[in-house]
Amino acid sequence: MSGNYEGDVTVDECWSALSDDPEAFLIDVRTAAEWTYVGVPVAPADARQPVFAEWQSFPSMQADPAFADKLGRHILGSGGTHDTRLYFLCRSGARSMATAAAMTAAGFAHCFNVIDGFEGPVDESGHRGRAAGWKAEGLPWQQR
């Protein structure tokens, strides 16, 4: 277990897990602005569609105190259980760690942080999305 959740996975491991387990959820916890201006992940063909749930909202970037309750209701209302595998994705892997821990604390047993997130870390030129992450690995994504 990594920190207070089940573990960390690479974007490729996440893609494989979503492909192999159609009951799993990919949960993008970035802001609405990021979804709009940076793009969103596209799930494998037989997987559930990604869930978009802001952990923090721009511009205050305060964590939503009702996040775990709202997301938990969504997962359970969409046919998931407390044993369903949940994969959390953010820009670079920090917010997704916090959300994986929050959902584990809320009783969900299999919460994973997708390391390097959607855009990955900043490269030597100060840019994201080139060195690691969902986009850099060539996984499907689209503009919203």
* 115 lies in some domain: yes
Confidence of residue 127 (pLDDT cuts 50, 70, 90): low
Segment 115-120 shows an average pLDDT of 91
* 99 lies in some domain: yes
Percent of the chain with pLDDT over 90: 80
**DSSP assignment string, 4-36:** TBSEEE-HHHHHHHHHH-TT-EEEE-S-HHHHH
Segment 68-88 shows an average pLDDT of 98
Q: What are phi and psi of 85, to 5 degrees?
A: -80, 130
3-state secondary structure of 2: strand
* 144 lies in some domain: no
* 129 lies in some domain: yes
For residue 1, the model assigns a pLDDT of: 43
Please give the residue range of the domain that contains residue 50: 7-139
Q: Look at the pTM and tell me if it is higher than 0.85.
A: yes
Domain count, the chain: 1
**What CATH number should be reported for the domain holding residue 110?**
3.40.250.10
